[in-house]
Structure 1
Amino acid sequence: MTSTQERKIRQTGCDARFDNLTRQLYATDASIYQIEPIGVAFPKSTQQASAVIRAAADAGVSVTPRGAGTSLVGNAIGEGLIVDFSRYNRQITDLDLEKCSVRVGAGVVLDQLNDFLRPHGLCFGPDVATSSRATLGGMIANNSSGARCPIYGTTADHVISLEIVMADGRTEKIGPTHESLRVERAKIENLIRAASAEMAERWPPGLIKRWPGYGIERFLRAPNDLTNILAGSEGTLAAIFSAELKISPLPCEKGLGLIFFASVGEAMQATVELLDLKPAAIEHIDRPLLDQTKGQLHFQSARDLLELDTKPCESILIVEFYHDVTERLSILQSRKMGLRTKILTDPVQMDLVWSVRKSGLSLLTGCVGPAKPLAF
């Protein structure tokens, strides 16, 4: 990086670091990739974010927006300027209990938001396994979903409006009630409508998750709402500074059905056979993950609950229900799937099971020895 480029970025007043330690810290995320950036900026306001992104553009430096860095595919790293929106943008404001909405800064962590909403009997529906560190800005940029997507869908389904910073430093508010970026909207709509037949063929109705590319099929259904394009764009179109989100009531009741299997294949087949019960979630954990909990005091209570030491298995399905819990758990148990089943309705016990699932990435990447699993 030239001294001229660095000077232009520093002149914005935004906290920017170019030292070796900071560059090394931001050269990685949760993926297998490593790219050292030229520097890292930490904006405190939309004005600072706008100024530093515009300065980077004027200096010919690429920009990569970043949240918590929990990406498994390297979308939080880059060779230019990293703009970290997680350090300062953690405000939760404008809670509207009647409208069931709230505004969050891009750096608000999911667990932080749900802790704020819980006393009001509310939650943010999508629940990624990295909820203790994943930021809402990152969740929107990746259109994250989580275990309970059959109930809540993906993050894009809960976005009302976004405050964004464009590549040239412009700040805009987008959403169905905003008239901003009309030219861009018209261009996108024309491109998408020209490919609508191919889209219908490639994405049949009924898909809950659709990972790759931009949310063009959502935009086709609601062409006045650019949040459908931004959600899932992974920071390639604009940086997200804040968002107005829909929030949901907490479920009145919950129950878990645990089914233990002798093979992963049997568990996958059982997943299909359980769909008629309309579970809120079906999650899978297998022996390599469970073996990582051996000898760890933090997970011993969960191991005892699952009886893993006395009744080992290769695979477990975690099947969660929200409504008509007693009836649906009874039906699940009567089907006598797998080696055995276990029914849980106690909140503490259910949290123990989910804690194992949520720790999956950390458990697997922390395995001892030269052989390591690859996140992808």
Structure 2
Amino acid sequence: MWKKAIEDAVVKTRKNIERYGEQFPHVALNGGGYTTNLNPNTDWTDGFWTGMLWLCYEYSKDETFREAAQRNIESFRKRLADNIALEHHDIGFLYSLSAKAGWIIEKDEAAKELTLKAADKLLGRWREEAQLIQAWGPLGDEKQGGRIIIDCLMNLPLLYWASEMTGENRYREVAVKHAEKSRRYLVRGDDSSYHTFYFEQDTGIPIGGSTHQGYQNGSTWTRGQAWGIYGFALSYKYTKNPAFLETSRRLARYFLENLPEDDVAYWDFDVPADADTYRDSSASAIVCAGLLELLDHLDANDAERPYFEGWLKRSLQSLVQNYSTIGEEEAEGLIKRGSYHVRGNSSPDDFVIWGDYYYLEALMRIEKGVTGYWYNR
């Protein structure tokens, strides 16, 4: 099953190279394909497309994918040099899956240097007074200046990696401090999570948690919970701090225990659920990839290993059997029913490129043992 799903993804991704040219897919619109909403490498999601190209190259060794990924890296080089749409923390998503992937696969020194420059850009978002990485907006932004969001846990590997590559502890120090703050304030006592948390930007005094894309401030946005599962597992990978591993476990238990019958998440765990409630297949795809990372850090005799392994296989199987576009030759996306921003009515039930990326990453890991590009192999 996994092999068939990967090969379907490879065929579709090859077709999409021709469709997209020098543009990047983000989210589909109104049930269409990604071609309805391409961008010239200006969105936070553009690394995911390049990451898919690298995964397809690793599976097939087809130079078509490698050449397309290398062209994308040149686009990311220009984006960083010209500081195009980089006033946010998602520099990790952008450069880990493009330039850093190029270093991991090919040991391309130019790609390594570009990735280190991107890490410096992310490091520049550290706010010493508040002791956090500012999620969105420029320094001093009145609304955003003291805001963190749970997504940032997936950007921290860029800093951890940069510390390993350079021997400079500052990258790691900032990543650890931000991960610890996220663990303290974004993870709630019942193992659910806030999407976002505010602090006074001049003092770091906590103000309170809220949501940006979830159902309401006290609810649990499922994609945010997914970022936490994978992100804390990655912080454990780099630091071996047992608190990060335990936090990943806790978030994973909560996510799995609140899934509906087909083992693929609704867009928020607290939204009233019926036949018309939006799913978020991307949240489940992220969790499948994250569970594979979490399992790598559990002992063979760990009591929870069978529990997590069982859920992983059921969720990934459901994505393949119930949500994938296998058999739909002209489909641009790999899995249906992803949601971007339900309350904002922005692609609430469409293809989303990060969902496709994590779906393919999980398949490659479970079938071929090929991880994503969050750390050196």
What TM-score comes out, normalization by structure 2 length?
0.24
Q: Which has the higher contact order (CA 8 A, sep 6+)?
A: 2
**Greater helix share, 1 or 2?**
2
| Higher relative strand content | 1
TM-score by length of 1: 0.24
Which structure has the larger Rg?
1
